[in-house]
């Protein structure tokens, strides 16, 4: 072919326009070159005349880092090697036909991919020694649908010729093997083939190894469909440590199981097989890991955009210096819910929920979170109700992290509480609830650190309600109890229904959570509560005579504090008179205080 092309080119120096795709057989009969035939024609002619460069004009700007239908933020690879281009093409990159590379590579001629519809774009250049790409990998390629054929059996161990017979029998029927893996024990061989060939492949292999199957040397020859393959390609993998580790760690974090793995000895390609319905997720995750600055994109789903929730949204909107990217993808209130690519972009996210949200549905909200393919998802519970508890266990088991200001879950009955904390271990997710007890104070973290260091908690005391502490401080300063209560409610210090605070139940929950952290198996029924207010048998609210108690204590130089205490297995919550020597005496206003008496902090508590 090269000889005839050379002779024709010597005949005249005029510009030649050559028909691609058309060729002739050895018998001089006209034929076609099949898929990519025009590109192949260009490469053959370019190599024959030793051209300075071969240009392939197509409908994209060049070779992309990944299929844009799978990865929306894929981008052009400016330079890549012949080998990288062939690997990407073989494993699904459609921009160039793999055989096109060979003639150019043999002559060392660069191949440039250009876009017919965007001729000004420089495109991608494929050459012997690309110098621009310093990334660990060059690109990702995928095959959307493949099937695995597995041959298994103890009788294959140490028996020569098994693989040869396998390939020969498939080759006779023109069944192409895309990928092959074999266990080091020689107990199993897995072959990736096109799904349309899987049934035939199984039939052929069962016929080929009929005797081995009969004798039990091969236990099974089966197929598995609904799979896809991904190839991670890059010449720089040869000089970098840990690339394979990062690939599989990323897939693991995204909870994507691997069915088969293969890596060539050239270290140019790591290929693996996964479930087809995980393909897009896997491609996107790997692309983010290797082609961006490793910043995580966190998808936040918020329940309860009230006082606490709206402040949380404000914190998110003001957090511009984080190393990660944070998006608010969903918000749900008691009546409405709203989803979006990033609700933080709204002028007023809470108002956007009120104006444009749809009717709230707990089932749909949970479904939306679970359907989100981003592995870095957080459900933030800023409610104070039991309604959100149905989310917790399925989310944790699915790998979704939970951050809860809502303390109901950790104060729930023992079975639910224990199951909840086990669910986090199952899903490899975190359940974080620091604000359950001390608001901004890292109380739970301190307690956990003490326990992890081998310390033992002997006694816990504290002021665990800023609202009640504020009211009692105001009464001590001279105001009437009801006046101080109304002012605290107006300032947003109490719950909308102040009885939630005055009943002591909220403080009891906080104390219960702390005691449970120490490993003691207790429940709300074990907490003795003396409330400041309660409902009597008729439903009317009655109040403790706090004004008198505070005044009498003041006359003695003391204060009344609403104290939670745990000691010797007993938990109590209620008003207590404290002397000036008590550490809680000077804790006033909306402040909280916690005292830990431990084995190590016995004489001077923490």
Pick the CATH number of 141-291 from 3.10.180.10, 3.40.50.970, 3.30.2130.10, 3.40.50.880: 3.30.2130.10
- 0.85 surpassed by pTM: no
Pick the CATH number of 2-132 from 3.90.1150.10, 3.40.1160.10, 2.40.440.10, 3.30.470.10: 3.40.1160.10
CATH number of 443-598: 3.30.360.10
In the three-class reduction of DSSP (H, G, I as helix; E, B as strand; rest coil), residue 208 is classed as helix
pLDDT digits (tens, 9 = 90+) for 273-289: 999 999 999 999 999 89
- The structural domains of the chain, with segments of one domain joined by +, span 2-132, 141-291, 297-433, 443-598
Average pLDDT, the chain: 92
| Three-state DSSP class for residue 266 | coil
Q: Is 568 left (phi over 0), alpha (psi -120 to 50) or beta?
A: left
Summarised one tens digit per residue, pLDDT across range 177-216 is 999 988 766 688 999 999 999 999 999 999 999 999 999 9
Alpha carbon distance 144, 92 (integer Å): 8
pLDDT of residue 322: 62
pLDDT in tens, 300-320: 999 999 989 999 999 998 876
Tens digits of per-residue pLDDT, 219-271? 999 999 999 999 999 998 887 888 999 999 999 988 899 999 998 767 899 99
* Helix pair angle (481-490, 546-555), 10° resolution: 110
Q: For residues 19 and 58, what is the distance between their CA atoms, to the nearest angstrom?
A: 16
| Cα→Cα distances 456→436, 452, 599, Å | 22, 10, 5
Give pLDDT tens digits for 403-448.
Answer: 999 999 999 999 999 999 888 777 778 999 999 998 878 999 999 9
Integer Cα distance of 209 and 157 in angstroms = 15
Looking from the CA of 598 toward its CB, the CA atoms found within 13 Å total 20
Mean pLDDT throughout 377-388? Answer: 94
- The token pair at 13 is 């120096």
**Sheet strands (E) in 234-375:** 260-263, 269-275, 297-303, 325-332, 336-339, 358-359
- Looking at residue 159, its pLDDT comes to 79
HSE at residue 389, side-chain half, CA atoms within 13 A, is 16
CATH number of 297-433: 3.40.50.720
Active site residues: 510
pLDDT tens for each residue of 544-566? 999 999 999 999 999 999 999 99
Q: Which two tokens stand for residue 396?
A: 């944790």
Tokens 């307690």 sit on residue: 447
Sheet hosting strand 179-182, strand order edge to edge: 179-182, 188-193, 139-152, 220-233, 269-275, 260-263
């Amino acid at each position: 072919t090269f000889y005839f092309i050379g002779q024709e080119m010597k005949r005249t120096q005029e510009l030649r326009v050559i028909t691609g795709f058309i060729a002739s057989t050895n018998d001089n009969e006209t034929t076609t070159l099949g898929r990519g035939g025009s590109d192949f024609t260009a490469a053959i002619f370019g190599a024959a005349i030793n051209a300075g460069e071969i240009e392939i004009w197509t409908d994209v700007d060049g070779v992309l880092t990944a299929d844009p239908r799978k990865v929306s933020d894929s981008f052009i690879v400016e330079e890549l090697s012949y080998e990288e281009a062939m690997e990407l093409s073989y494993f699904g990159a459609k921009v160039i036909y793999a055989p096109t590379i060979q003639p150019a590579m043999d002559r060392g001629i660069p191949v440039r991919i250009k876009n017919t519809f965007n001729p000004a774009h420089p495109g991608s250049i494929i050459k012997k020694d690309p110098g621009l790409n310093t990334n660990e990998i060059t690109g990702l390629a995928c095959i959307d649908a493949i099937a695995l054929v597995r041959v298994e059996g103890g009788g294959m161990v140490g028996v020569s010729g098994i693989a040869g017979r396998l390939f020969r029998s498939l080759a006779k029927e023109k069944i192409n093997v895309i990928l092959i893996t074999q266990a080091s024990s020689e107990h199993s061989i897995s072959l990736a083939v096109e799904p349309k060939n899987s049934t035939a492949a199984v039939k052929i292999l069962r016929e080929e190894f009929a005797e081995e199957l009969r004798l039990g040397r091969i236990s099974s020859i089966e197929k598995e469909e609904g799979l896809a393959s991904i190839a991670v390609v890059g010449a720089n993998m040869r000089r970098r440590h840990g690339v394979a580790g990062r690939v599989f760690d990323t897939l693991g974090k995204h909870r994507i199981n691997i069915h088969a793995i293969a890596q060539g000895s050239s270290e140019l390609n790591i290929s693996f097989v996964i479930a087809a319905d995980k393909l897009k997720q896997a491609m996107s995750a790997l692309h983010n890991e290797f082609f961006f600055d490793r910043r995580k994109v966190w998808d936040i789903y918020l329940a309860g955009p009230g006082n606490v929730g709206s402040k949380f949204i404000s914190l998110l909107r003001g957090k511009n210096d984080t190393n990660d990217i944070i998006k608010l993808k969903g918000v749900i209130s008691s009546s409405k819910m709203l989803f979006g690519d990033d609700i933080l972009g709204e002028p007023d996210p809470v108002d956007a929920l009120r104006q444009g949200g749809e009717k709230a549905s707990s089932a749909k909200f949970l479904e939306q979170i679970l359907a989100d393919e981003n592995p870095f998802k957080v459900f933030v519970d800023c409610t104070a109700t039991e309604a959100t508890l149905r989310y917790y266990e399925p989310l944790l088991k699915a790998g979704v992290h939970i951050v809860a200001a809502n303390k109901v879950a950790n104060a729930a009955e023992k079975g639910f509480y224990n199951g909840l904390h086990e669910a986090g271990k199952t899903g490899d997710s975190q359940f974080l609830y620091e604000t359950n007890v001390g608001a901004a104070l890292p109380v739970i973290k301190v307690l956990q650190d003490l326990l992890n260091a081998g310390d033992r908690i002997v006694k816990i005391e504290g002021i665990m309600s800023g609202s009640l502490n504020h009211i009692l401080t105001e009464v001590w300063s001279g105001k009437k109890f009801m006046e101080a209560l109304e002012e605290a409610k107006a300032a947003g210090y109490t719950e909308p229904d102040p009885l939630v605070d005055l009943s002591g139940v909220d403080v009891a929950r906080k104390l219960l959570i702390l005691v449970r952290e120490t490993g003691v198996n207790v429940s709300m029924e074990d907490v003795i509560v003396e409330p400041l207010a309660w409902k009597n048998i008729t439903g009317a609210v009655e109040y403790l005579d706090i004004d008198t108690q505070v005044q009498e204590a003041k006359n003695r130089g003391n204060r009344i504090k609403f104290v939670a205490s745990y000691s010797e297995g007993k938990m109590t919550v209620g008003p207590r008179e404290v002397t000036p020597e008590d550490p809680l005496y000077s804790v006033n206003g909306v402040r909280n205080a916690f005292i830990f008496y431990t084995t190590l902090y016995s004489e001077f508590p923490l």
